[in-house]
Structures are given as structure tokens and as C-alpha cells.
Structure 1
Amino acid sequence: MNRSRDKNEDKKMIQVNNVREESGEHVPKVSVIIPFHNAQSHLEEMMDSVEAQTFREIEILCVSDGSEDDSIKIIRERMEKDPRIYLIEQEKHNAGVARNKGLECAVGKYVVFWDADDRFHPKALEELYHKSEQVQADICVCEVCEFRGDGKLYETGGYLQKDKLPEKDPFNKYDIPGDIFGFASNMLWNKMLRRAFIVENEITFQDIRQGNDTAFVMQAMYHAERITTVSKELAYYRMNNPGSLTSQASETWKCPFESYRYTWEQLKKQDDFALVEKSFRNKMIRGLFRSLNIQTSFAAYQELYDFLKEEGMHAVDLEDVTEDMVEEPWMYADLMRMKSMSAGDFLLCKATERMNDRDQLKYTLRRVRRRLAFLLALNEKIKRLKKKIKGKSKKSIDEEGNR
């Protein structure tokens, strides 16, 4: 198979891969799909992380989404040393189209979609693969660490919420209908998926600049019959990357809404959607308010806020949500505020809330510190008292022995 191809050769590679599969020729067990666009600043570090994986039976499909920097050069140089690496080139579209292209070319039993600016534990693929095989999973989810410019890893609990998991393993939407969309984030890079499962359910990435993984992950969670987890932090997510799509949120302010609307339109066609509708609605509310929180300019914030208020919430049936339909009080409160408040008033209200929360937290911390200081002082007094009692007891024993 030609390992480096021009963008017009995509169909040829897909055909070659199909023949390779059907012929019974040895194929990799996992396909690692890495979309990238002008990612030279972090790509070397990312590729080091992939090539250092202890699980060796993989193919590494690097999909250039119209890169114009040295990213392609970096991949070509690595291809000379590692035959598992393949380069796929396409004109500039978005990460969703690039991921679809990589998925079409993949031959592994399982696939992972890793971003070009992240890192991974050396045993990430090994752990995910063996757990997937052990329970014959459609999806396997691991925990995540975050890292910043200093390279240090920071624990975080938002990507896999173990308190929402059932005792049953593997599980599916029928086991946790209220949390099937809430137990894990919509991020892709901490998930391994069975490729045949994706193909059978015709799950693809939305052609959208930001949030193209929302529809993919949520449809996968809905259709999966066997979901499992690995309680280890195997994926390392880079925070505060100015080149990431999250950092460009104000340029793509409408994308999160479009991703949830598209997902909602796809899932509401399903027979059992009513079973998981509350879970989906809560995920969408969180996602839409988060999209407001990550805006980097007030102009974009106001534009998104006004859009959601005037037509967005109505378009996805959130206009008439009642208090019993949401998981947390703030969700209902914010939906009600949005109906009557301007963007500026809403933002001021949220800022005031957070200041009050911060003040309450400071007050609580002061109380905890005072309590801790009291307990430490009490502990020291108890230690001294025990020492004094022990000394008196020893003296009494010595006096008794001298009689």
C-alpha cells in the first residue's frame, strides 16, 4: 500500500485497504487517526507519544487538513523510520472531514482519534485494547489528565464521572438512561471504539469547524450495546493552546449550537430516544451555556446569547423546559434569566453569583482552617497528656519494684 499519497488518491487507498482486509492479510489491531492542520509546534511531541506506545500492532493515519507549515515534512521524515505511519492529504476543510477520511482508510479492529497537540500514557493503547477485548466493548473510555506549558500533569474529574457509572460492566443506555450522555465528555481522545460498530451504525463526523465530535460521540453512546471504562488517566489534554479550536471559540460561536441541533435531529428519529431524552437535554443545556462561557470577546458572547435567546433555544425545544426536566437548579435558573435579561445583564448576574460563591468559599475555607488548627492543637495536648500519664505510670512501677 502506498503510504504517502496525493489528495486525489483517497479512493485508491480505501480500495487497497478493503482488499487487504478481505484477503486475510495481517492487519493492525488498532488504527490511530490523527487529523492535523499547521500543527508543527506540538506534532513532534505528539508523535513521540504515539510511537512510544507499548502496544505495537497499530497503524498511524496522519491526515493533513490543508497544512501549510512543516507538519507534513515532520510526518514524512517519521515515515522513513516507522512503516506503521501513513500520510493522507486533503484540501482545507475541518477536523471532522479529516477524521472521516482517516476512518475510511482505517483497517484496525478498533480506532482512536487523537489530536495533534495532546499526549498519552505509554500504555494507553495497551490498556484500552485489552479492556475492550476482555468485555467485547463497542466503546472504552479512560480518565484524563490536563497539562499546561510547564508539562506537569493535573488531575481532573470532568471527562469520566465514575459516580454516574452503573455496577454492571459492560453497560449501555438501558442501564443508565439518565446519565448515558452525562457520564463522559464529548471529547474523542479518551475513547477507543470498535470500527465495525461505527460502520454498522453509519456514525460519521459532522462537517463543521468546531464541535464536530459532539454528534459522533453522542450517537455512538446511544447506539453502543457494550460500553466499558478504564479507571486510569491515560490521555493527557493540553490546556491553553492558542492554536486549538476551543481557543478560537469567538470565531466559531455558532458551531456548538449547530452541533447539538444536528445531534438532536439525528437522535430524535430513534425509537428509544424518549428513554434518554432527559440525559440529552441536560447535556445540551450544559454544552450551550459552556459555549457562552468560553467566548473570548463580548461581541461574540452577545451575538451567541442573542441568537440562543431569540431562536436557538426554541429550535431545540428548550424554550418550555420545566424545573423537573433538569439535573441542577442553575440550569433552570439560567434558562429563565435568558428569557428576560439582555446579554450584559445576564453576564453581570453570573459574575455576581461567582463572586458570591468565591466569598462563600473563602468563608468556608477560613472555618475549615480554624477547625483544623483547633484539632491540631487538641491533638498536641492529647499527645502531651499521654506522655505525662505514661511517665507517671513508669514512675509508679519503679517505686513498686523498689519496695
Structure 2
Amino acid sequence: MSEPLVSLLVPIYNVESYLRQCLDSARNQTLEDIEVICINDGSTDSSPDIIREYMTEDPRFRIIDKANSGYGASMNMGLETAQGKYIAILESDDYFELDALEKLYYAAESCDAQVVKANFWMYWSKPEERNEPFALVTEEMSGRLVNPQIETDIFYLKPSIWSALYRRDFLEDNGIRFLETPGASYQDAAFNFKVWASATKAFFIQDEIIHYRQDNEASSVNSPSKVYCVCDEYAEMDRFLGNRPEKQCLKPVEEKMKYDTYMWNYDRLTEPLRRDFILRFAQEFKKDIESGYVDLGLFDSWKRDDLTALMNDPILFHARREAAEDESYLSKIQKFYRIGGLSLLIRALKQKIKS
């Protein structure tokens, strides 16, 4: 197939339990002029056999077989292979509404948008099937062209790169690709940032177009081994802006994003990973503030206070956060002592006296 309307990229790695539901939703799209590029990242289960079943039944399906090298490498290979006017992404444990691509395509065509973004469903298949709408796109944003260089609040939305459609020439002209780090995750973060940092014509619709699975235990969000992958993504954003001097005005926006992402990552971790990460967190923000990249005026007042506290004494900040829900004073003291010994207890007491 040459020059379809949409190239749908489906990155696949050991998802045999969910793959048929995903590929069925692609095959049955009401927008028929599409190609479905399945990038098999060295799966060791029956996923490749399932892909080939669909290829036999539907010539729009294609497969890229590659050794396991990670999500970013898979997506970049898909982007290089795609022939469509537009690019869409479907994660292999999610599935589309049947008119998803049609809605995205006609929205893009109606106003010559570089990007179209939609809402989605948070989806659970067990213990019983459940969908909850995620209102990423507000009524105020919906149905109009938005320039992300002016309306920068868009940068703070959940990345959800799979609830969108992208002009392929827009991605190519701006050098928008994924970070290729083997074994990494959260590689939607830098890709999403590059999109908003480059786009001047984004269109938003409120329709929920995709079911975003929450109960895949193999998902990278559930892996404590991915502690510093978010740091890699923000280093990639730094690189992207560094090569584009005209985009340096977006550095404070990136720093605000970075704070929220790092805090989210910190809160999801368990000990001793949390303690290690907060030290990295503090170190990076001290450097960024010294470099003049951080605009504290963009932060809510309580976030400014938290950022100041964690930079001044990251271990004390960590201990207070760890002990916040302990009911007894004795249990708080025990936790402080376990985290930082007597010296931490003394620092906490001195700060309490000052306040």
C-alpha cells in the first residue's frame, strides 16, 4: 500500500493476552485507508504468530521483526517505515473506538492541524470490565486551533501520545523522534514535549477515542527498575531545546513539567529507591536554578515551598514525607532515626524550633 491516509504504529512485545483485542480495533476502523505497522520487538510469546494471522487476512497489516532493543527504537523504526499522511499510535495492550481514526483524521483535515488530540477511557478488564472517562481535553480547548507556543498549559497535560494524530511531515521537518535507550520507559515524555515545542497548530476534540489499559502488570509504570528513566527523558528535552536557540523560552515550562514528573516518580517508589531518587532530584534542580532555567513564578506556592525544602535538605524532606501519615510521635521519631540517624533528628528539631 502506498500513501495511505494514516499509518498506525503498534509497538509489540510479549502481549499475547491483549493483542487480538488491540488488532481487532485497528482492523475494524471506519477509516479504511490505513496501514497498520506492527513492530515486533523480539517477542518470545505467540505475539508474532498472532500478527501474521492478521497479515494473512488483511493486506493493510505489516510486520517489522527486530531484536529486542526497546520502545524508542521500535517507534523510530515504525516512523521511518510509515507512508501515511498522518501517524497514529496504538499501544498493544490498549484498543481503539471503531471510529477513532476517522474522527482524528477529519478533525485534522478540517483545519490543516499538525496535531489532533482527544480524550480517552481509563480501562480495566478485571475483576470486571470498567471504563472511566479521562477528561484531558476541556470544553474551553475543544473545537479550535491552539498554538502551544502561546497557550503553554498544554505542556502540562498527561502525555497520552496514543490519543492523538500527527502530520508525518510535521514530525519529519522538526526532527521529532523517540529517545532510544534500551530497557527504558516513559519515552512518551520527550516525544510529547518535542511535539508541543514544535507545533503551532494543534486541534482538540473531547471524544474518548481509546481504551487505556490499567491492569497490565507488565507495564513499565509498575516496574521499580525504571527509577531514572524519567531523568533520561528530561535530558533529551534539554538536548532538543539546546539545539534550537529560538526555543529557549520554553525552558521554564520544561522545568515546571520536570518538577511534577520527578515528584510523581518519587512518590511511586519504595525504599531505598525513594531516598536515592530524592538526592538526584535535589542535585538536578540546584543546578537548574543556578543556571537560571527555573521560573518559580510558574509554580504553585506549596510546590515552591516543597522545592525549597527538598533542595535545602533532601533527606530531611524525605523523612518528613515518609513519616507524614504516622499517627504517633514515637513512630515518627523512629522513622527519622532509621532514615538518617541522630544527625537527622537533630536537624529536624532545629528546624522545628526555628519555625
Distance 1:64 1:120, change over 3 A: same
Distance 1:304 1:324, change over 3 A: closer
Q: Is the 8 A contact 1:264 1:316 kept in 2?
A: no
Distance 1:223 1:336, change over 3 A: same
Q: Is the 8 A contact 1:63 1:87 kept in 2?
A: yes
Deviation at 1:147, TM superposition (A): 1.1
2:123 alignment counterpart: 147
Give the secondary structure class of the aligned counterpart of 2:178: coil
Distance 1:138 1:93, change over 3 A: same
Distance 1:353 1:60, change over 3 A: same
1:121 alignment counterpart: 97
TM-align CA RMSD: 2.5
Task: State whether structure 2 residue 190 is matched by structure 1 residue 230.
Answer: no
Match of 2:318, as an amino acid?
Answer: F
Q: Structure 2: how far apart are the matches of 1:175 and 1:346? A: 36
2:311 alignment counterpart: 339
Task: State whether structure 2 residue 267 is matched by structure 1 residue 293.
Answer: yes
Q: Which moved more, 1:300-309 or 1:120-129?
A: 300-309
Q: Which of residues 127, 137, 161 is equivalent to 1:160?
A: 137
TM-score with structure 1 setting the length: 0.74
Deviation at 1:76, TM superposition (A): 0.8
Deviation at 1:241, TM superposition (A): 1.8
2:232 alignment counterpart: 258
Q: Structure 1: how far apart are the matches of 2:294 and 2:150? A: 25
Deviation at 1:33, TM superposition (A): 0.3
Task: State whether structure 2 residue 34 is matched by structure 1 residue 58.
Answer: yes
TM-score with structure 2 setting the length: 0.84
Q: Structure 1: how far apart are the matches of 2:75 and 2:16? A: 19
Distance 1:72 1:328, change over 3 A: same
Q: Can you give the 5+ residue segments of structure 1 that lack an aligned partner in the other structure?
A: 1-19, 21-25, 356-403
Deviation at 1:138, TM superposition (A): 0.6
Match of 2:211, as an amino acid?
Answer: Y
Structure with higher Rg: it is 1
- Superposed counterparts of 1:239-250, under 5 Å: 239-248=214-223, 250=224
2:300 alignment counterpart: 328
Please list the CA deviations of residues 199-221 of structure 1 after superposition, one character each: whole Å capped at 9, or x if unmatched. Answer: 11111100121122222111111
Q: Structure 1: how far apart are the matches of 2:129 and 2:211? A: 10
Q: Structure 1: how far apart are the matches of 2:164 and 2:227? A: 26
Q: Can you give the 5+ residue segments of structure 2 that lack an aligned partner in the other structure?
A: 328-355
Deviation at 1:354, TM superposition (A): 11
Deviation at 1:323, TM superposition (A): 7.6
Please list the CA deviations of residues 181-239 of structure 1 after superposition, one character each: whole Å capped at 9, or x if unmatched. Answer: 12x32221111100011111111100121122222111111111211011111121111
Identical aligned residues as a percent: 23
